[in-house]
A = this chain, B = another copy of it.
């Protein structure tokens, strides 16, 4: 069999070295005579995997001792609810507001589909959401998810969200191809929360600045079915009766996950095991700084094709173009099907844009090889030349 060039947005390409190890060990994990699928989550060999995975996340992202690393289930969508439940029940958060006052609002910075959905989830739960901006409503972004409006436009709760329970944003919008170029400058009194599902471990991050930072694994870190949550421990102390909060499921409670080291109930053992192998693979290639370099090399192979093109158009402002998901439309949309079919014939797959926006999406995650991008770039140039009018 021939491996294809996999540009999928997630679940997505994983390192071949990791896949081969998973295959080799499938029937006998760590000399146990059992598959990794068959060992108890309370066994010593699996305990080693969880410890190892946590240590590698700490190493790769420089997680300070003030923060816990949790492995949970349900994808980022589950975290949309968990973030609100946990922070509105946090003594650190609530003690900033008068006793007996209604629960404070949370500020959401909406740059695309996923940050919008995160805000909608809190509204669903009955929480107070303040959308500080929605780029799809802002004249500065052409009323579309093409970048981040200037801070002067943000309608925050108090100066720089000082009076918000927390500020939420999504560092890289997978569907829209919009990536923040810096951490938003919020008031030190509030709590910063960030979804890094689709650019986790692709560049260094200053974890200390965040109250909560989380990522579904299935893009840059491993298979679908596990989510990494990094949370500041002091936020997990519960507030008292002066600040009533909404009770919430045990499985969404970060303090339960922390106290049980992600083993409150049976965790997704296989997914954690594969993540651990991917973390090791990243460590062996220069860590997240190494991944950032790989990313730059891939962009360097692709960007000239886009810059010199009259066919391929990226709607995102240059400053906010995602390094992970390059979203394109064709100026001649009638060629889209032929473009995708030709790519498929050449073994370049999963290039179709998200069903909500259409077009083409080129995902350039950590495990994608430069050679795949070079092959795609060559095809794109040839395709444009072939269809020149």
Instruction: Give me the interface of A with B, judged by CB distance under 8 Å.
Output: 1-4, 6, 8-14, 16, 19-20, 22-23, 26-28, 31-35, 37-43, 73-78, 80-82, 121, 124-126, 216, 218, 222-226, 247-252, 264-271, 274, 347, 349-350, 355
Contacts and interface: CB of A to CB of B under 8 A. Distances in A.
Contact of A268 (B28, B76, B268, B355): B268
A225 B8 contact: no
In the complex this chain forms, how many copies of it are found?
2
Contacts of A225: 73, 225-226, 267-271
Contacts of A9: 40
B250 A77 contact: yes
A28 B1 contact: yes
A369 to B, nearest CB: 13
Nearest to A268: B225
Contact of A4 (B4, B13, B32, B43): B32
Nearest to A85: B249
B126 A247 contact: yes
B13 A249 contact: no
A273 to B, nearest CB: 10
Contacts of A252: 249
Contact of A8 (B28, B40, B78, B349): B40
B248 A125 contact: yes
A325 to B, nearest CB: 13
Given A250-B77, A252-B249, A38 B13 contact: yes
A249 B249 contact: yes
B11 A33 contact: no
B20 A23 contact: no
Contact of A224 (B28, B75, B270, B355): B270
Contacts of A19: 26-27, 35, 37-38
Given A11-B37, A19-B26, A268-B271, 8 more contacts: A4-B32, A10-B266, A37-B274, A73-B78, A78-B249, A224-B270, A225-B267, A270-B270
B40 A11 contact: yes
Contacts of A35: 14, 19
Nearest to A46: B11
Most B CB contacts (10 A, CB to CB) among A20, A28, A270 go to A270
17 contacts: A2-B33, A14-B35, A14-B38, A23-B23, A73-B268, A74-B78, A77-B250, A78-B251, A80-B249, A81-B250, A81-B251, A121-B249, A124-B249, A125-B248, A216-B266, A218-B266, A223-B269
Nearest to A347: B33
B270 A3 contact: no
A270 B269 contact: no
